[in-house]
């Protein structure tokens, strides 16, 4: 389906009107709805294809059993229904060891048949990819967004590349994710590339993604957190952009550059002053000031699981915010108006519990309403728009 899926802009829906509008068209549409871009049934990478192959086999066997059992059941119901006028009683059969043994053998054979691809497929998808071209990315799950640290991509000053919610990967290259969580359990899931893998605090889990083809820039692959993680679990989405090798390299180069810190007394400086007093409590930005000095503002936070250090902060890194298409963990289209609405009252867009934040103990449950005036909001948005 060629709709602009990812762009689905958040909208308030009139309750009853929408309810009623939907009802009549449903059955009709249901019949012809496609499988959608987040489906596990149309894989776009070798791992997901393997899984799909196992699934196809199992589905076939299950269908066979289903047809067989239902056939017997329905046939028996039809054939042996009570007919009017028939006075004879049925034969009192008590059982038959042959049938019992037959049933057991039948099931065991089928299951043996299923368990082979199960175990083989399992070992395949859990295998650690090897080779020089493997791209390592560290993933930190947060309530309710994703943070990606490209540990293989470093700037001249040693900074690793950090971005949020939108993952960019090269085509045909095994991307090995090393994942942990900053708070509760999440699950990283991009169905067309691989199955899901839980992201567990205090533990490290891994997942390999391999994508066949580059995606059009406005049609990234959607994915979503798949483990219930509290209030906004539904809005913890992922977008994966797949590039060809050159496109990926270009993206990396661009992301590694700092953005610009406005010079004092310029039009954008007001926004920066606000940003630097309020927003940097949670968000990191790497900026170059007029003197050419590169500084990373905002909290530095490290999460260590299983002796692996994950660089992180309390909110998404905003250095190249406007290079992204979405915000709010892939939930809302990114544009100035929308962003202003968000800064004005974040919880009007996405359910969060910012009033329960406890930064000192590392607990972040959403972006607080900072109480900015609309003028201040406009200044901040103007500033953010320059960070591309």
Partner 1 sequence: MTAQVQTIRSPGDRGVWAWITTVDHKRIGLLYAVSAAAFFFIGGLEALLVRTQLLGPNLEVLSAEAYNQLFTMHGLTMVFLVVMPIAAAFTNYFLPILIGARDVAFPRLNAFSYWLFIFSGLLIYSSFFLGGAPDGAWVGYAPLSTQLTEVVRMDFWTIGLSTLGISSIAASANFIATAFTMRAPGMTMLRMPVFAWMSLVVAFLLIFSLPSVAIGLFQLFLDRNFGALFYAADAGGDPLLWQHLFWIFGHPEVYVLVLPAMGIVSEVLPTFARKPLFGYPFVVFSGAAIGFIGFGVWSHHMFTSGMGPIAEAGFGVATMIIAVPTGVKIFNWIGTIWGGKIKFNTPMLFSLAFVAMFVIGGLSGVTHAVVPSDTQQHDTYYVVAHFHYVLFGGAVFGYVSGVYYWFPKWTGRKLNETLGKIHFWLALIGFNLTFGPMHVLGLNGMPRRTYRYPEGLGWANWNAVATIGAYTILVAFLVFAWNIVRTHYLNKGERVGNDPWDGRTLEWTIPSPPPVHNFDETPIVHSLDDFWHQKYAENEEGRAVRMPAVTGAADDQGDIGRADHGTPEGIHMPSPSYYPALASLGIAITGGGLVYLPWGFAAIGVGVVVMLWGLFGWSLEPVTKEH
Find the shortest distance in angstroms from Cβ 226 to ligand CUA.
7
344: enclosing H helix or E strand: helix 336-344
Q: From CA 333, how far away is CA 325, in angstroms rounded? A: 6
**Burial grade of 46 (CB within 10 A; 0-12, 13-18, 19 or more):** middle
- One residue of 5, 57, 58, 110 binding ligand HEA per CB under 6 A: 110
DSSP letter assigned to residue 129: P
x/- binding map, residues 166-195, to ligand CUA, per CB under 6 A? --------------------x---------
Which of these segments, 158-166, 220-228, 332-340, 367-375, binds ligand CUA (CB under 6 A)? 220-228
Q: Give 94 or 158: the residue with its C-beta nearer to partner 1.
A: 94
Count of CB atoms situated within 10 Å of the CB of 294: 15
Among 65, 116, 245, 359, binds ligand HEA (CB under 6 A): 65
To ligand CUA, the closest distance from the beta carbon of 239 in angstroms equals: 15
Task: Pick between residue 233 and residue 283 the one whose CB is nearest to ligand CUA.
Answer: 233
Letter string b/e over residues 67-99, b meaning 16 or more CB atoms within 10 A of that residue's CB: eeeeeeeeeeeeeeeeeeeeeeeeeeeeeeeee
Question: Of ligand CUA, partner 1, ligand HEA, none, which one sits near residue 345, judging by CB under 5 to 8 A according to partner kind?
Answer: none
- Under the binding rule (CB under 8 A), the answer on residue 121 touching partner 1 is yes
Of the pair 349, 384, the CB lying nearest ligand CUA is at 349
Angle value at C-alpha 107, between 106 and 113, nearest 5 degrees: 95
Q: Which string of DSSP letters, residue by residue, matches 352-374?
A: --GGG-BGGGTB--S-------H
Q: In the complex with ligand CUA, which residue's Cβ is closer, 174 or 316?
A: 316
Binding flag, residue 233, ligand CUA (CB under 6 A): yes
The rounded Cα 350 to chain-centroid distance in angstroms is: 16
The interface partner of residue 144, options being partner 1, ligand HEA, ligand CUA, none and the CB cut-off 5 to 8 Å by kind, is ligand CUA
**If contact means CB under 5 to 8 A according to the sort of partner, which of partner 1, ligand CUA, ligand HEA, none does residue 195 touch?**
partner 1
19 binds partner 1 (CB under 8 A): yes
CA atoms of 97 and 106, how far apart (whole Å): 14
């Amino acid at each position: 389906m060629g709709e602009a899926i990812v762009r689905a802009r958040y909208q308030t829906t009139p309750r009853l009107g929408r309810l009623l509008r939907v009802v009549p068209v449903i059955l009709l549409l249901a019949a012809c709805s496609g499988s959608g871009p987040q489906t596990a049934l149309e894989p776009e990478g070798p791992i997901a294809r393997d899984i799909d192959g196992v699934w196809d086999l199992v589905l076939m066997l299950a269908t066979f059993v289903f047809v067989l059992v239902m056939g017997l059941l329905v046939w028996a119901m039809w054939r042996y229904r009570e007919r009017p006028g028939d006075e004879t009683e049925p034969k009192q059969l008590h059982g038959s060891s042959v049938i019992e043994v037959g049933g057991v053998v039948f099931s065991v054979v089928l299951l043996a048949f299923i368990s082979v691809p199960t175990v083989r497929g399992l070992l395949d998808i859990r295998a650690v990819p090897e080779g020089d071209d493997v791209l390592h990315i560290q993933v930190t799950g947060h309530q309710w967004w994703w943070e990606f640290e490209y540990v293989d991509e470093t700037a001249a000053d040693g900074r690793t590349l950090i971005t949020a919610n939108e993952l960019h990967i090269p085509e045909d290259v095994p991307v090995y994710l090393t994942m942990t969580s900053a708070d509760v359990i999440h699950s990283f899931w991009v169905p067309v590339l691989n199955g899901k893998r839980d992201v567990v605090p205090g533990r490290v889990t891994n997942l390999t993604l391999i994508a066949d083809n580059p995606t059009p820039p406005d049609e990234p692959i959607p994915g979503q957190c798949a483990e219930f993680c509290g209030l906004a679990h539904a809005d913890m989405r992922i977008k994966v952009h797949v590039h060809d090798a050159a496109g990926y390299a270009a993206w990396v180069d661009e992301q590694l550059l700092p953005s610009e810190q406005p010079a004092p007394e310029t039009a954008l400086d007001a926004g920066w002053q606000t940003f630097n007093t309020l927003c940097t409590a949670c968000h990191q930005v790497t900026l170059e000031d007029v003197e050419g000095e590169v500084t990373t503002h905002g909290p530095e936070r490290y999460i260590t699981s299983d002796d692996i250090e994950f660089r992180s902060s309390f909110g998404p890194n905003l250095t190249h915010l406007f290079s992204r298409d979405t915000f709010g963990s892939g939930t809302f289209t990114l544009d100035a108006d929308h962003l202003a609405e968000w800064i004005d009252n974040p919880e009007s867009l996405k359910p969060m519990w910012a009033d329960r934040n406890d930064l000192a103990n590392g607990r972040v449950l959403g972006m607080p309403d900072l109480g900015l005036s609309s003028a201040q909001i406009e200044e901040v948005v103007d500033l953010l728009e320059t960070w591309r």
